[in-house]
């Protein structure tokens, strides 16, 4: 079960704001390309696909056959690509050894039973297929600008799985090796744009704050935007690769 309910409000906010521009997407394409061997018949699982923006990216990058799983009906109704499948990470509706890679973007913290998720992925992935996890892990908030303005949200992040916990769960399921790198992305053209476009419902750590803590953080962000209106917002997110 997700940490927050991806209901209509959350899905609308997510669809409106949780997208990268072409430059940000290109950096992730380069990072993923170091671990994924594209070919015309590549079958990639987009697990926790949201509205499907990453599914579109993988199809555009590689011509991949993307199968996308998203449990939230509200997200699926706002999908930007066809064919999102209702399903849960612990019970994937695919044949054994039928997929060539799995992509999990900002979803690992919504999966409470990591051993079951890892075992399910081990079943549906072919031997040697990578699991690519794009996330912010517990204890690694320093690369994300949001936590500068909302420091209380960094404490929420500390309840997320750590890199060590994720690696241990996947190693037990037969994914013994991993690499970890940080990928820089421009999340907004300016702090002013970030402040104007911020939707609390689109960010789990912000929804888990109380209203006073959120109001204080929003005030910090708005005051910083006045001081540096043209500074781009650059974040560094983790890419953990298991295979």
pLDDT in tens, 16-60: 555 676 767 888 999 999 999 888 789 999 999 988 999 999 999
Question: Is residue 204 pLDDT above 80, yes or no?
Answer: yes
**pLDDT the model gives residue 3:** 56
**Residue for token pair 């199809």:** 59
Is the pLDDT reported for residue 6 higher than 80? no
Flag whether pLDDT at 4 surpasses 60: no
- Please give the pLDDT value at position 11: 54
**CB 126: neighbour CB atoms within 10 A?**
12
Three-class DSSP category at 145: coil
Is the per-residue pLDDT at 79 higher than 60?
A: yes
Stretch 176-181: mean pLDDT, rounded? 91
* Mean pLDDT on 190-196: 93
Q: Is 171 helix (H, G, I), strand (E, B) or coil?
A: helix
The Cα–Cα gap between 226 and 221 comes to: 9
**69 near 124, Cβ under 8 Å?**
no
Q: Of 76, 129, 131, nearest to 108 (Cα)?
A: 131
Q: Which fold has domain 8-143+159-187+234-242?
A: Rossmann fold (3.40.50)
- Residue predicted with more confidence, 12 or 54: 54
* Predicted confidence band of residue 74 (pLDDT cuts 50, 70, 90): confident
Give the model's pLDDT for residue 218: 96
Q: Is 226 exposed, middle or buried (0-12, 13-18, 19+ CB in 10 A)?
A: exposed
pLDDT at 7: 61
Question: What share of the chain has pLDDT > 70, as a percent?
Answer: 91
The answer to whether the Cα torsion of 84, 89, 95, 100 is positive or negative is: positive
In whole angstroms, what is the distance from residue 216 CA to residue 191 CA?
16
Instruction: Output the pLDDT for position 193.
Output: 92
- Give the mean model confidence (pLDDT) for residues 190-217: 92
What's the confidence (pLDDT) of residue 54? 93
Average pLDDT on 147-151 reads 95
Residues 105, 54 contacting (CB under 8 angstroms)? yes
> How much is the pLDDT for 177?
84
Report the pLDDT value the prediction gives residue 1, as an integer from 0 to 100: 41
> In this prediction, what percent of the chain has a pLDDT beyond 90?
70
- Mind listing the pLDDT tens digit for each residue in 98-140? 999 999 999 999 999 999 999 999 999 999 999 999 999 999 9
Q: Which H or E run contains 146?
A: helix 146-149
pTM over 0.75? The answer is yes
- Mean per-residue pLDDT of the chain: 90
């Amino acid at each position: 079960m997700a940490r927050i309910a991806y209901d209509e409000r959350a899905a609308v906010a997510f669809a409106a704001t949780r997208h990268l521009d072409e430059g940000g997407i290109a950096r992730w394409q380069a990072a993923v390309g170091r671990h994924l061997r594209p070919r015309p018949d590549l079958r990639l699982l987009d697990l926790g696909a949201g509205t499907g923006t990453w599914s579109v990216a993988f199809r555009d990058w590689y011509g991949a056959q993307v199968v996308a799983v998203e449990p939230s009906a509200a997200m699926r109704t706002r999908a930007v690509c066809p064919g999102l499948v209702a399903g849960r990470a612990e019970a994937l509706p695919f044949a054994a050894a039928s997929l060539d890679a799995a992509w999990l973007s900002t979803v690992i913290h919504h999966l409470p039973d990591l051993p079951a998720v890892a075992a399910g992925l081990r079943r549906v992935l072919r031997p040697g297929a990578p699991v690519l996890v794009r996330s912010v892990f517990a204890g690694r908030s320093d690369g994300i600008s949001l936590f500068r303005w909302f420091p209380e949200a960094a404490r929420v992040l500390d309840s997320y799985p750590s890199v060590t916990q994720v690696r241990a769960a996947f190693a037990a399921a037969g994914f013994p090796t991993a690499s970890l790198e940080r990928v820089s992305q421009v999340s907004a053209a300016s702090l002013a744009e970030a402040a104007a476009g911020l939707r609390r419902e689109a960010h789990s750590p912000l929804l888990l704050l109380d209203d006073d803590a959120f109001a204080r953080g929003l005030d910090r962000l708005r005051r910083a935007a006045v001081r540096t209106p043209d500074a781009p917002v650059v974040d560094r997110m983790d890419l953990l690769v298991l295979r």
